[in-house]
Structure 1
Amino acid sequence: MSYKNFPMVPRVIFGRGSFNQINEVLAPKRLSIDAPFIFLIDDVFKSNAWLTSRIQLAYGDRIIFISAKEEPKTSQVDALVEDIILMSKDRPSGIIGIGGGTLLDLAKAVSIMLTNKGEAKDYQGWDLVKNPAIYHVGIPTISGTGAEVSRTTVLTGPEKKLGINSDYTPFDQVILDSELTKDVPKDQWFYTGMDCYIHCVESLTGTYLNAFSESYGNMALELCKEIYFENNLSNIEAQEKLMMASWHGGMSIVYSQVGIAHAMSYGLSYLLGTKHGIGNCIVFNHLEEFYPEGVKLFKQMMAKHDIELPKGICANLNDTQLDTMINVALSLVPLWENALGDGWKKIITPDKLKNLYLKM
């Protein structure tokens, strides 16, 4: 039997205030004075010198502010790569992503496409990347997606929403500083934290489950319950615990897979542009048939934090649009296999998916 030899993030700094070490972490990685560091930063920090003032730019280093209002696209990756190639004499010393899952995924994808020919859409799938990415660093400013630890970078392409899943995708360095998450709005904190919770439910109930995934999944699940149910956690404790839940939730799917909520939310995202965290919540809310315990707990957490999910987002879609979403969801074969086993096509038909989408 052949076992998968998955890479992990080789270097991690964890601690409140650890972002202050960014300059000393990067200094030894500079290749030459003509090889700049490129910082891709969520534009919510554009007028926030609290974060950017700690980055010491030198030798043509550059900050590119990027809006995270939309999910990352393959065309966006291609445009960034072209821009970076045109602006620097040499290949950059590294790409540093600072933000939530969108920015982290963009940083991973750009670092891959700087060393691989063609367009980002050519690499959507499993193990299609041929050349190692350039040095890349992930610094999350919101917790839950697991993008800081995963071997995928999820992108919306012209034909599908699918990750660049490869051994070259994971970051070379991650800095986990919970202080960077202190200003996250409450609804965003909930939706992104629930992305982590749903990772755990899908991993722990899936057919791909093994002791490796189970140990990380259980740890992340317990942290999520503590964060979203306990009343005696300080803000700092909750921020640190959610950062670790995100890490462990991401690790739980490294050696297994996610499931139905993710497959269906990819359909929502591809057609409607629904953001990943809230999309997962909208779908998961209707999956009692498949995840009865997980959905019951999810509804309790929504009630506790006064979260109202959007309703009727699929109500006015025509059959062509619904078919597009269904086809995107059904193309994610490993997710369905993990959720329902080899016979998943007998359980999940296009009509079944259509009826589920129409409830949302």
Structure 2
Amino acid sequence: MKFRNFKMVDYVVYGRGCFDQVDEIIAPHRKGDAPMVFLLDHFFENNNELKARIPVRANDILVIADVDHEPKTSYVDEVSQMLKDKFGTVSGVIGIGGGSTMDLAKAVSIMMTNPGKAQDYQGWDLVKNKSVYKVGIPTLSGTGAEVSRTTVLTGPTRKLGMNSDFTPFDQIVLDPALTKDAPKNQRFYTGMDCFIHCVESLKGTFINEFSRSYGEKAQDLCEEIFLHKDNWDEESDEQLMMASYAGGMSIAYSQVGVAHAISYGLGYLLGTKHGIGNCIVFNHLQDYYPEGVATFHKMLKKNDIYIPEGITKGLTDEQFDIMINVSLGMAPLWENALGKDWQTIMTREKLRAIYEKL
């Protein structure tokens, strides 16, 4: 049996206030006049306090990342081409924001050293050249984007990540203080993304002790935060940040499952954001994850969160087929969830019936 040699993030700094060490951390990676590129989530566009703390030096550039929607391959191409035209090359790319901003940073860093278009690298192990230096700084916890070997992108024909050993960040900066202003609903949706990572990993056919050790801890933290606490506090920010890290590590050596596979179809066709998309789907997956869905429903009630219903109402047969095709293209996810014979279990008709419930 051949075991996968798993590429992890090279360096991790954790602690309240560690964002102020970024200048010192990235200094050795500066190359001559080539700038550092800071991609800042547009949520912070008017946050002058945070912007003043970003160590922009010499000809560095601060780019406000447009992540109203999850990153499209065309946007990755636009940003990377702008940087190539302006600077030729860059010393590194630093993503500061939620999961979409970190995915954008990973993708742009890859496209600075690889030819063609971003859509050419949607899939597994298609990236050939090491990216420029890249740093992930999450301001929202739950997606696991800070540790994953994928960057989720919507391309012209599918929603699929760049899954490769060249995708993980070289450095991540985990500062719980950066997440304190996250909106309640958004915090819940990304927290549930983490919880669903854990349920799908722990209940999947790919499960192993490496993944289990991280997944169980992350799931426990999610339940502590969203079920057993009455008020959000600094400790909650710290717990969710570590749940996100551990949840991302859990799926790194296993996989996610049904909810993610189906939500990719929603994201591609309707532009549904990943966190809330997973919640919309998971809400109807009692047949696949009964215990997890029951706990999820308790979390919804405890936190007074509303999950949209009826978002697929009125779609045409052609539109349902598009979502089904995107979803069924996620073969590793389905195999983890249902086993090697998953194609005989998850038929197009059964998948259509699930989409119709949403």
TM-score normalised to structure 2 length: 0.99
Alignment partner, residue 41 of structure 2: 42
1:17 Cα deviation from its structure 2 partner: 0.7
Other-structure match for 2:4: 4
Paired residue secondary structure (1:38): strand
Q: Deviations over 1:273-324 (max 9, x none)?
A: 0000000000000000000000000000001111111111001100000000
Rounded to whole Å, the distance in 2 between the matches of 1:192 and 1:234 is 15
- Give the alignment partner of residue 350 of structure 1, picking from 328, 348, 351: 348
**Aligned counterpart for 1:160 among listed residues 158, 161, 173:** 158
Q: Matched residue of 2:169: which SS? A: coil
Query: What does residue 29 of structure 1 align with?
Result: 29
Aligned to 1:141: 139
Q: Distance in 2 between matches of 1:129 and 1:231?
A: 43
Q: Distance in 2 between matches of 1:231 and 1:215?
A: 23
> Deviation per CA, 1:224-243, whole angstroms, max 9, x where unpaired?
01111122665100000000
Q: Aligned with 2:94: secondary structure?
A: strand
> Which runs of 5 or more structure 1 residues have no equivalent in the other structure?
none
* 2:67 match: 68
Q: In structure 2, what is the equivalent of residue 309 of structure 1?
A: 307
Structure-1 separation of matches of 2:259 and 2:178? 28
Indicate if the aligned counterparts of 1:41 and 1:63 stay in contact, CA closer than 8 A.
yes
Between 118-127 and 230-239, the greater mean CA deviation after superposition: 230-239
Residue 20 of structure 1 aligns with an amino acid whose one-letter code is D
The residue correspondences of 1:1-360 to structure 2 (distance < 5 A) are: 1-32=1-32, 34-88=33-87, 90-231=88-229, 235-360=233-358
| Matches of 1:44 and 1:6, distance apart in 2 | 33
- What amino acid does structure 1 have at the position aligned with 2:63? I
Distance 1:240 1:327 in 2: 39
4+ long deviations beyond 6 Å: none
Distance (whole Å) between structure 2 residues aligned to residue 339 and residue 287 of structure 1:
12
Letter in 2 for 1:79: E
CA distance in structure 1 between the partners assigned to 2:56 and 2:7 by the alignment: 30
Given that 1:44 and 1:67 are in contact with CA atoms closer than 8 Å, whether structure 2 keeps it comes out as: no
1:237-256 Cα shifts (integer Å, max 9, x gaps)? 00000000000000001110
For the aligned residue pairs, the C-alpha RMSD in angstroms reads 0.9
| Alpha-carbon distance between aligned partners in 2 of 1:253 and 1:57, rounded to the nearest angstrom | 34
CA distance in 2, matches of 1:118, 1:348: 35
DSSP-derived class of the 1:352 partner: helix
Provide the secondary structure at the position in 2 that maps to 1:136.
Answer: strand
Distance 1:290 1:29 in 2: 46
Q: Distance in 2 between matches of 1:28 and 1:138?
A: 17
In structure 1, distance between residues paired with 2:152 and 2:17:
29
Amino acid across the alignment from 2:189 = Y
One-letter code aligned to 1:15: G
- Which letter maps to 2:16? R
Separation (CA, whole Å) in 1 of partners of 2:335 and 2:55: 47
Amino acid of the residue matched to residue 175 of structure 1? V
SS of 1:53's partner is helix
Distance 1:278 1:314 in 2: 14
Whole-angstrom distance in 2 between the partners of 1:201 and 1:21: 35
Instruction: List runs of 5+ in structure 2 lacking aligned partners.
Output: none
Q: What is the percentage of aligned positions where both structures have the same residue?
A: 59
Give the letter for the 2:129 counterpart: N
User: d(CA) in 2 for partners of 1:203 and 1:44?
Assistant: 31
Q: Within 2, Cα distance between the matches of 1:299 and 1:9?
A: 34
Post-superposition offset of 1:59 = 2.2
Over residues 133-185 of structure 1, what are the superposed CA-to-partner deviations in whole Å (9 max), with x where a residue is unaligned?
11000000000000000000000000100000000000000000011101111
1:213 and 1:251 in contact (8 A); partners too: yes
Note the C-alpha offset of 1:57. 1.7
Structure 2 distance, partners of 1:68, 1:79, is: 14
Q: 2: distance between equivalents of 1:194 and 1:85? A: 37
State which drifts further: 346-355 or 130-139.
346-355
Q: Deviations over 1:163-216 (max 9, x none)?
A: 000000000000000111011110001000000000000000000000100000
Give the Cα separation in 2 of the matches to 1:56 and 1:151. Answer: 26
